[in-house]
Amino acid sequence: MSGMDLLFTWIAAGLTLAIFSFLYRDNPFYKFAEHIYVGSAAAYWFIYLWFFDVKPKLIDAWISNTGFERYILIVPAFLSFLMLLRFIPKVAWLSRWAIAFTVGMGAGLGITGAIQGYIVPQVKAGMLPLWTGQWGNSLNYIILVVSTVTTLVYFFFSKEHKGGLGFLAKVGIMFIMIAFGASFGSTIMARISLLIGRLYFLFHDWLHLV
């Protein structure tokens, strides 16, 4: 290992231990590592947005295009300039126009993406034959259809959940809890894998114990 690699390994190990020190209590070492992490993340995204968004889509596009395709770029450039006015208190209200445009555009794209990416595929996935000739596949399809229908019944508030409707709503709650539990378990597994990665770094790359 070269001298620079050894130096960076010790820096990474020190920052990792500083983050882990929060398990004991809040302390200056944790705050120092936290501020470095936030600052480096902000710097990374600034560089990323410059080289992958601003430069190729605005500056390079202005140079390479002519006519209408060039001058239409004035619109996003002007809106970006308005956003920067957020840091000037006297004219900060002008940034609301650009933020409102961005939020509205994001909401429109989000609704379209949700319909095409989640709702329509889920509807198609719920239109399944209950019997396929194989017991395993048929049982999976039946569970999927039942869970979809009962979950939708739970969110049907036009009629009080009593009798058969109440029973279906309770079954829907059960499937919702199962989905939440699976999602939570997946999140925990991802966090545990990150923890294992940092521990492996400490014991293998830093201390050379494993």
Q: Which DSSP string corresponds to 158-207? A: SS---HHHHHHHHHHHHHHHHHHHHHHHHHHHHHHHHHHHHHHIIIIIIS
Residue 64 counted as domain residue: no
- pLDDT of 132: 83
Residue 60 counted as domain residue: no
Residue 181 counted as domain residue: yes
Cα(84)–Cα(99) distance, integer angstroms: 11
Number of domains in the chain: 1
Range of the domain at 141: 129-210
- pLDDT of 125: 78
- pLDDT of 136: 87
Residue 163 counted as domain residue: yes
What SS3 class is residue 26? coil
- 141 close to 132: Cβ distance less than 8 angstroms: yes
Residue 164 counted as domain residue: yes
Residue 106 counted as domain residue: no
- pLDDT of 37: 94
Residue 29 counted as domain residue: no
**pLDDT tens digit at each of 210 positions of the chain:** 678 899 999 999 999 999 999 999 999 999 999 999 999 999 999 999 999 999 999 999 999 988 888 999 999 999 999 999 999 999 999 999 999 999 999 999 999 999 998 888 888 877 878 888 888 888 988 998 899 899 999 999 888 989 999 999 999 999 999 999 999 999 999 999 999 999 999 999 999 998
